[in-house]
Structure 1
Amino acid sequence: MNFAHGASVRIASALLAGLVLASPVRTVAEVSAVSAAESATPTLPPSMDGAPIALMIDLGSGRVLFSREADRRFMPASLTKLMTIYTAFEMLDDGTLQPEQRMPVRDETFREWSGKGSSMFVARGTSVGVDDLLRAIPTVSANDGCVVLAEGAAGSVAKFTDIMNAKAKELGMNDSHFNTPNGWPDEGRTYTSARDLATLAKALITKHPQKYRQYFGLPQFTWNDITQKNRNPILGVVEGADGLKTGFTNEAGYGFVGSAERDGRRLVMVIGGTQSGRERKAIARDFIAWGFDGWRAHQLYGMNQPVAKVAVQGGAERQIELKAERPVFVTVPEGSDPKAHVSVRYQGPALAPIAEGDRVANLVIETADGRKSSVPLVASETVGEANWWQRLRNGLFSLVT
């Protein structure tokens, strides 16, 4: 949706279980919960000393639980494949790609990528379905499958990486560039940051929840009578773990983007530059345990629960109801005061037309320790452009309100 150019940011109160009119309200209301003594940030596990790059975010509150060199650019290796999968998900949504579509294995592709690094072992002269490729890439990190998908979906690797970079720009991944669909070493032309990878993981999970559940978290994958296990170090070990992807090259070291969900609360973590697969495994498991055990999340709103109404300009309706796409939490260290101030911030009035699901505002959560985080609020309904009668009605209302 479009925001009014030059419009001021409006602040609205949002009560714990209530619905409020955002437009005229400029106070920030307090959300009360059981009070407890303030405590420091939970102590990190010792294994975290081995992670030069690390980031953890609670998606339910938007709070960054830990950050170390989150904006430092590094080579992502096979973590690149998350962008390949996201690009394919977007193409499926816009109809330029179909799950049943068959992608040919070109002779040149087979010669270059057969058994090169991690592989799904595609066969020369065959074709592979998009559905199979999307199961293989996150599960067995198929280098060959990425190239087959890129060539089949866009005509060439170069054209596909152009789409990857355009999608990354749309997501605001300003410290990322993709030169390959599989992360094979390319003299540093492919790079990213932990913050960008967390943004990408969030987009995979929240923009494409059904596809995320369908293609991530598979315990194994079989192709050409070869069965390989998922390399995810927390899958099947950590409660609620369901994604996302490991990465390794000699230049990049060992990296991992992981996620787990418990009782509606989802954490996303990124680690990079660890020295061995064994060390990465230990860090990943310790880090996610630290996130769940060292922090407490107090729910403010349920999924799809109304949060606020905001004014609409030029719309068939004068206001639109906003909701949270996911359960919304206040996240604080174990033993800390869970009281928080919340406010709805948006650039307004919002301009019609607005489609259901469009992001309209942010719910800003400020905890007792002064830390701020935010989660998006989306339109719970569609508001079309006003006809002549509705414009007249809106104008008359504006004179008396």
Structure 2
Amino acid sequence: MLAAVAAVAAQPAVARTTPDVAPPSPEDAPIAYLLDLTSGQVLLAREADRRFMPASITKVMTTFLAFEWMEEGKLLPQQTFTVRPETWSDWNNRGSTMFLSNRARVTVDDLVHGVTTVSANDGAAVLADSAAGSIEEWVEAMNAKAREIGMKDSHFGTPNGWMDEGATFVTAVDLATLASAMLRRHPSKYNHFVGKTEFTYNGITQPNHDPISGSVRGADGIKTGFTNQAGYGFLGSAERNGRRLVMVVAASPRGRTRDRASRDLLEWGFSQFEQRRLFVPGSKVTDAEVQGGNSTQVGLIAPRGVYLSMPRDQQTDATFRIEYSGPLRAPIMKGEEIAHLVVTIEGMPEARVPLEAETDVDEAGVFGRIVNGIRGWLP
């Protein structure tokens, strides 16, 4: 079956003229990362594991944690909090703000919109303090959630990215992991809260300074950031024709440079790579052998499907292999992630597509173990 897939992937692209678009230069975007979320492939990686201070991009972690707590019932969008005097005193007119008043009653929905649309430092602090009981407890939950989703080289010291002597740091890879988790786990919340062009609160309307929404077709966020030490950064995403890209640029020397680099990186990704669908979501990719089970095989399902991003107008082959740890042993539960389809394309990092068990495989009984043992001795 994988040989047939490789044959399909190797078919040349339909000849067409592609726009002359280049990724941003190392001078404009010293850190740059472009992930095709649909295929799982990395299209560009420059200093992707280099730590940097994310500044307001930190608020994406606060937003994601709020989404997770909404899903768990710990937070409700219509829930109302009162701004504590201590929190208001600490964050009133401190950097970007949604102009919260002392002791104001404000909904979670407004707080999250303030965070995502106008980068409200006061909104992030009030949300953290009110939802978790203290800002410290919220930050602890942020770091626990970061570890849970696989952000291996990041740490958060505040809910809003305010300067904290380097306690907050991320990498481009980890930010893409965060954006991916947000998009996959909470698509409806993402659509509701992220990518709005403006936000009005307390009679004041402020614009979103996202550099790609309205400028790049299909773009819908996510968050800018700036510090004197780290320069200008942006975590963004766009979707066209069912294909979703996630991008990071960081350490840009100027805001306009960052904005142009962000747009160029996305346009390059969409124009210079074409998508090929090999398996629709939920398809069976192949079978794997199972030891000690009431069945000797289990089907491997690709829950997200299998898609490839191939360099356009180039004859490029793809190779595939199934990878899992040791022999698969029963019991196995249906839907359990037990293997990966590893895709290799020359000049690109390996992509790993998760595969799940098609069915339950229970442990074999005494007679079954005897039969399996006999089979193991037969040629």
Residue from 296, 320, 334 that aligns with 1:342: 320
Spell out, residue by residue over 1:184-219, the C-alpha distance to the aligned partner (whole angstroms, 9 max, x if none).
001111111111111111111122223222222222
Query: Deviation of residue 146 (structure 1)?
Result: 0.8
Distance 1:236 1:52 in 2: 25
**Superposition pairs of residues 16-35 of structure 1, within 5 angstroms:** 16=5, 30-35=7-12
Partner of 1:169: 147
Residue from 199, 209, 214 that aligns with 1:221: 199
Partner of 1:141: 119
Partner of 2:248: 270
Specify the SS of the correspondent of 2:324: strand
Spell out, residue by residue over 1:318-337, the C-alpha distance to the aligned partner (whole angstroms, 9 max, x if none).
76544334353222222222
Distance 1:111 1:151 in 2: 13
Mean alpha-carbon deviation: is it higher for 310-319 or for 246-255? Answer: 310-319
Specify the SS of the correspondent of 1:366: strand
Partner of 1:21: none
Spell out, residue by residue over 1:138-180, the C-alpha distance to the aligned partner (whole angstroms, 9 max, x if none).
1111111111111122111111111111111122222211000
Supply the AA of the counterpart residue of 1:148: V
**Superposition pairs of residues 2-401 of structure 1, within 5 angstroms:** 13=2, 15-16=4-5, 30-35=7-12, 44-45=22-23, 49-310=27-288, 321-347=299-325, 348-349=327-328, 352=331, 354=333, 356=335, 358-368=336-346, 371-379=349-357, 383=360, 386=362, 391=365, 395=369, 398-399=372-373
Partner of 1:19: none
Contact 2:99 2:202 in 1 (8 A): yes
What runs of 5+ residues in structure 1 fail to find an aligned partner? 1-11, 17-28
Distance 1:394 1:220 in 2: 65
Distance 2:368 2:193 in 1: 47
Supply the AA of the counterpart residue of 1:34: Q
Spell out, residue by residue over 1:34-75, the C-alpha distance to the aligned partner (whole angstroms, 9 max, x if none).
2369xxxx9734655311111111122322221211111111
Contact 1:60 1:375 in 2 (8 A): no
Partner of 1:6: none
Distance 1:314 1:123 in 2: 65
What runs of 5+ residues in structure 2 fail to find an aligned partner? 15-19
Query: Deviation of residue 230 (structure 1)?
Result: 1.9
Query: Deviation of residue 242 (structure 1)?
Result: 1.6
Query: Deviation of residue 252 (structure 1)?
Result: 2.4
Query: Deviation of residue 246 (structure 1)?
Result: 0.7
Distance change in 2, residues 1:62/1:127 (3 Å): same
Contact 1:231 1:246 in 2 (8 A): yes
Distance 2:4 2:117 in 1: 42
Query: Deviation of residue 104 (structure 1)?
Result: 2.2
Supply the AA of the counterpart residue of 1:176: S
Contact 2:21 2:264 in 1 (8 A): no
Supply the AA of the counterpart residue of 1:35: P
Contact 1:312 1:352 in 2 (8 A): no
Query: Deviation of residue 393 (structure 1)?
Result: 7.3
Specify the SS of the correspondent of 2:248: strand
Specify the SS of the correspondent of 1:49: coil
Mean alpha-carbon deviation: is it higher for 102-111 or for 339-348? Answer: 339-348
Distance 2:234 2:329 in 1: 39
Q: How many residues align?
A: 369
TM-score by length of 2: 0.86
TM-score by length of 1: 0.82
Distance change in 2, residues 1:141/1:320 (3 Å): farther
Query: Deviation of residue 272 (structure 1)?
Result: 0.6
Specify the SS of the correspondent of 1:254: strand
Partner of 2:17: none
